[in-house]
Structure 1
Amino acid sequence: MSRTIEFRLSGSGGQGLILAGVILADAAIREGKNAVQAQSYGPEARGGASKAEVIISDGEIDYPKVVLPDVVLAMSQEAANKYAARVKKGGLLIVDSTYVKNIPATPGRVYVFPISRLAREKVGKELVANIVALGILAGLTGVVSRQVLEQALLSRIPKGTETLNMQALEAGFEMAKASSVKVPA
């Protein structure tokens, strides 16, 4: 039986969630898995609502849209309000406590991390909060290996930002490890 996991990465335009979704799907493909990635954002783009969806499977993907995500990342209050209740029962809701102050009711397990603040304080730029979040997602779920995620990351970011982005990914993996709760693969 094949394993399929659905992700919804949501927040505000400009937070880099679409890039994070592309990197996650790229890493899955590099690992020999099947992946589908889709995105949407409001007409305002920067500052408006934004989401990226990724489906990763060891087998065929029958339907290319996320129906009931196993993992929801909410990096804005609006995203948390809209998607927290739509995570699969027992799934994961990962919240950026920098911008999400009220966590709505959810059937999933809630993980709260100061993602954007951590990017600012540990890495020096909030711009890489999406990569910190990617490290947290991969660290909690084990959906792709760290090595392959690093390869996908380095192939998708602008030249000259490699060190910054690798530090952000490391910070995310550290946060996931510190949570001490692992999701069964």
Structure 2
Amino acid sequence: MSERYELRFSGAGGQGLITAGIILAEAASIIEGKNAVQSQSYGPEARGGASKSEVIIGDKPIDYPKATIVDACLAMTQEAADKYANGIKSGGILLLDSDFAPKAPEGDFKVYYLPIMRLAKTEIGREIVANVIALGAMIAMTGVVSRESGEKAVLAKVPEAFVDLNKKAYALGYEKAQELLA
């Protein structure tokens, strides 16, 4: 990993992407002992408006908590892609939900499509775990934390009754992203 790695999770309010960012920051800092900060931004709407969560992970202390040159970005909706898929560095990664964000903005970065919401609904049976699928995919694509650390952080955040559901969702996202990269 380079000195500083910046990730942005974006979508609609209520999709759990701020939670995904918090989980990633905890995987990096608490489990792997790296420096990490997480910040968030969302519109005035409680649900449905564009929202983002940014995570910065580094080997050294992080002096500025906002993403400036994004290494990897996730956009779950077209509005989020249009609004937040900017500042992605040359050679960076943009992961789009193929059903809800079909149009990638222009840029010198790699674009990948994954039907995240559809996978949550058809493969897992619960759309509520789409954020965990997305998190698994982003971890697989970036390698910013290990697969095991990501899973451990996810499972530490969910109630006991939902451990198996989230474990399955995380693995699905991770494996689907590995297939995209292959």
Instruction: Verify same fold: TM over 0.5.
Output: yes
**TM-score, length basis structure 1:** 0.93
Contiguous gaps of at least 5 residues in structure 1: none
In the other structure, the counterpart of 1:27 is: 27
In structure 1, C-alpha distance between the alignment counterparts of 2:128 and 2:75, rounded to whole Å: 16
User: How many equivalent residue pairs?
Assistant: 181
Segment drifting more, 3-12 vs 80-89:
80-89
Contiguous gaps of at least 5 residues in structure 2: none
**How big is the alpha-carbon RMSD for the aligned residues of Structure 1 and Structure 2?**
1.4
Q: Percent identity?
A: 54
Deviation of 1:158 (Å) = 2.8
In structure 1, C-alpha distance between the alignment counterparts of 2:76 and 2:146, rounded to whole Å: 23
Segment drifting more, 79-88 vs 92-101:
79-88
Q: Residue 73 of structure 2 aligns to a residue in which SS?
A: strand
In the other structure, the counterpart of 1:164 is: 165
In the other structure, the counterpart of 1:7 is: 7
| Amino acid aligned to 2:106 | A
Given that 1:85 and 1:105 are in contact with CA atoms closer than 8 Å, whether structure 2 keeps it comes out as: no
In structure 2, C-alpha distance between the alignment counterparts of 1:100 and 1:180, rounded to whole Å: 19
Given that 1:119 and 1:128 are in contact with CA atoms closer than 8 Å, whether structure 2 keeps it comes out as: yes
Deviations 1:126-184 (Å, cap 9, x if unpaired)? Answer: 11111001111111111111111111111112331111111110101111111134xxx
Relative to 1, partners in 2 of residues 1:159 and 1:3: Cα closer, same or farther, differing over 3 Å?
A: same
Deviation of 1:2 (Å) = 5.1
Deviations 1:53-109 (Å, cap 9, x if unpaired)? Answer: 000012221211111211110000101111223211110001011211222212211
In the other structure, the counterpart of 1:155 is: 156
Given that 2:5 and 2:70 are in contact with CA atoms closer than 8 Å, whether structure 1 keeps it comes out as: yes
Given that 1:2 and 1:59 are in contact with CA atoms closer than 8 Å, whether structure 2 keeps it comes out as: no
Q: Residue 154 of structure 1 aligns to a residue in which SS?
A: helix
Runs of at least 4 residues off by over 2 Å? 83-86
Given that 2:77 and 2:101 are in contact with CA atoms closer than 8 Å, whether structure 1 keeps it comes out as: yes
In structure 1, C-alpha distance between the alignment counterparts of 2:41 and 2:160, rounded to whole Å: 26
Q: Residue 92 of structure 1 aligns to a residue in which SS?
A: strand
Residues 97-176 of structure 1 mapped to structure 2, 5 A cutoff: 97-176=98-177
Aligned: 1:38 with 2:39: yes
Structure richer in strand, relative to its length: 2
Given that 2:92 and 2:110 are in contact with CA atoms closer than 8 Å, whether structure 1 keeps it comes out as: yes
